[in-house]
Amino acid sequence: MTQPFTPQQNAKLLPQYSLLRVVDISKDFTLPREGWRRGPTLRAVEKISFDVTEGEVLGLVGESGSGKSTLGRLVLRLIESSAGKIYFNGQDISLLSSRALLKLRSDMQMVFQDPFASLNPRRKVGAALEEVLELHGQRDRNDRQNRVAELLRLVGMPAEAAARWPREFSGGQRQRIAIARALAVNPRLLVADEPVSALDVSVQAGVLSLLRTLQSDLGLTMIFISHDLSVVEVMADRVMVMYLGRVMEIAPTRELYTSPLHPYTAGLLAAAPQAHKKKADRVMLKGEIPSPINPPSGCVFRTRCPYVLPKCEVEVPVLKDLGAGRLVACLRDDLALTAEAVE
């Protein structure tokens, strides 16, 4: 596994302005009817706000059902939000028409989780990549074919792969092709939604190394979504921890992994495979994540929190800025969740 960026390397990659700003974004889904009654409402994302700096990699972590993938699609407007604002490069894109939004699509692209489903099995690789270029205005066929060959080489694939079918490639190779397709129009923001979770462990490191190299060389801004904490540690400059559609903690990667401030973050770190740690010394998460249809009142994490107080049942914690890039949503400020506390 490759090593995480050092703070010195990160500083070179992070000009000091936000490419993406999300303000109080929420998303509700109405579930199918139950007989004559209207279907229940599921709030997948609840008033989330965050910034992503130009050239930064923001990692999104949390258990399944925490709203990570929904949030990734919301910021690209692949699905529409129920409330909130999205600013890209200073422009409010929340209410842009489909035609106006199409002009911004070249700046915002996505790599999906399943490489076997993201490529059309009836189109050869070259045709799939050319289609993206043509949709975004590149009309000359020779120019498109040259760009396809360049993109394939960029992701470590031979130019001859353009003449082959998706079924002829392994999962790792297909994901490289999907990355090439996302980069075809030179995006500034790339959302990678669990890009290696469907791959064999033996090929994950190669794809992660490729993504990190491309991010550095091309100056990409990236939102990297994963449930795997070891993967996020390698990829991200900052990490945002989500639970039941809400943000629990945001912090620089190194600080979050060595000294978590939220009990949920501490629990996630304790649950990660750590062969050299003693299980008895860890603060372990107990129980299952509650249903997002009927989340707990007050702090949504209170039903699993080992430090719960009576006030946690009635008060919703706000995300407090503690300085030095650290934000936490917890009613308790007397916890000492150091690295030792979760080891």
Mean pLDDT per block of 10 residues along the chain (343 residues) reads: 40 60 95 78 93 96 93 96 95 90 90 87 93 85 92 95 93 94 95 91 91 94 94 95 96 95 93 56 74 92 92 94 94 70 39
pLDDT of 280 reads 43
d(CA 314, CA 296): 10
Task: Evaluate whether residue 174 is within a structural domain.
Answer: no
- Supply the range of the domain harboring residue 333: 259-343
- The answer to whether 185 and 109 have CB atoms below 8 angstroms apart is yes
The pair of three-digit structure tokens given for residue 7, joined into one six-digit string: 């703070």
137 Cβ partners below 8 Å, 6+ apart? Answer: none
175 Cβ partners below 8 Å, 6+ apart? Answer: 111, 115, 195, 196, 198, 199, 207
Per the structure, the count of domains in the chain is 1
pLDDT of 193 reads 95
Q: For 231-281, what is each residue's pLDDT tens digit? A: 999 999 999 999 999 999 999 999 999 999 999 999 999 887 654 454 444
Q: Please give the model's pTM, rounded to 2 decimal places.
A: 0.88
Burial 106-116 (b: 16+ CB within 10 A, else e): bebbbbbbbbe
pLDDT of 284 reads 67
d(CA 179, CA 302): 39
- SS3 state of residue 241: strand
Q: Catalogue the E-assigned strands of 38-170.
A: 41-53, 57-61, 83-88, 91-92, 108-111
Q: Which residue has the tokens 């590149």?
A: 138
Nearest to 84 by CA among 28, 45, 43, 26: 26
Task: Evaluate whether residue 98 is within a structural domain.
Answer: no
pLDDT of 283 reads 60
pLDDT of 137 reads 81
d(CA 195, CA 166): 17
Task: Evaluate whether residue 278 is within a structural domain.
Answer: yes
Task: Evaluate whether residue 158 is within a structural domain.
Answer: no
pLDDT of 165 reads 94
- The answer to whether 292 and 244 have CB atoms below 8 angstroms apart is yes
- SS3 state of residue 50: strand
pLDDT of 8 reads 36
Task: Evaluate whether residue 178 is within a structural domain.
Answer: no
Task: Evaluate whether residue 212 is within a structural domain.
Answer: no
Angle between helices 171-183 and 201-218 (to 10 degrees): 20
pLDDT of 272 reads 77
Task: Evaluate whether residue 63 is within a structural domain.
Answer: no
pLDDT of 99 reads 85
The pair of three-digit structure tokens given for residue 151, joined into one six-digit string: 């993109």
- The answer to whether 300 and 243 have CB atoms below 8 angstroms apart is yes
